[in-house]
A and B are shown apart, each in its own frame.
Chain A
């Protein structure tokens, strides 16, 4: 069974800082790795999807990387803003048609 871990559980940074969120997984036989954002009391919004054959994906100030051999993915947020405050979750799609989620990193960007 895939185990997905996200460290740290919570992070607080001043506005404008660049930051990295970490995601690690135990089973490298993944189809893809997806990063989501969840605002309090809301559903999940997909941010970036990295297929197993890819190394990274970029969208605006966000960049996600994938290293299957080491079982790691990172989400890089450039020039953080208070509107980036949310919980960020990563999830792997594995064989057997199943998705496995980490418990998330709660990000607070202080104005």
Chain B
């Protein structure tokens, strides 16, 4: 099993550009989520999904969109990048909400 994979590993964007961060898992997990990690702020939940076709907002959803068309994939879209979105983004999955969470290696995003 590859576990949770994320692409790209690093990305530089200009303000106003859009992009999609990819996340995939091969463990047949129903619950998937996106976090951002900023110094001194810990990890904050952006969006999550409890299954294909079902998504919901987390703590900091503004400026981000998600969709879940398959169990395996959960992409995160930045609609119009802003410098405040410079961060490290992590995708995670678990079989159920109360199960062990598995994290991807992260995507470092720099918005100029």
State whether the Cβ of B56 lies closer than 8 Å to any Cβ in chain A.
Answer: yes
Number of chain A residues whose Cβ lies closer than 8 Å to a Cβ of chain B:
24
A31 touches B97 (CB 8 A): yes
A34 touches B42 (CB 8 A): no
Instruction: Name which residue of chain A comes closest to B94, CB basis.
Output: A93
B59 touches A98 (CB 8 A): yes
Q: Contacts A89-B42, A93-B97, A103-B40 hold; do A98 and B48 have CB atoms under 8 A apart?
A: yes
State whether the Cβ of B43 lies closer than 8 Å to any Cβ in chain A.
Answer: yes
User: Is chain A's interface secondary structure helix, strand, loop, or mixed overall?
Assistant: strand
State whether the Cβ of B33 lies closer than 8 Å to any Cβ in chain A.
Answer: yes
B58 touches A98 (CB 8 A): yes
Q: Which B residues lie within 8 Å of A89 (CB)?
A: 42-43
Segment of A13-21, A39-47, A74-82 in the binding face: A39-47
Report B14 CB to chain A, min CB distance, Å.
24
State whether the Cβ of B101 lies closer than 8 Å to any Cβ in chain A.
Answer: yes
Chain B residues in the interface with A (C-beta under 8 A): 4, 31, 33, 35, 40-45, 48, 50, 56, 58-59, 90, 92, 97-106
Chain A residues in the interface with B (C-beta under 8 A): 1, 4, 31-32, 34, 36, 42-46, 49, 51, 89, 91, 93, 97-104
Beyond the given pairs A32-B98, A49-B99, 9 more chain A to chain B contacts, judged by CB atoms under 8 angstroms and listed by A's residue number, are A44-B43, A46-B102, A97-B56, A101-B35, A101-B42, A101-B43, A102-B42, A103-B40, A104-B42
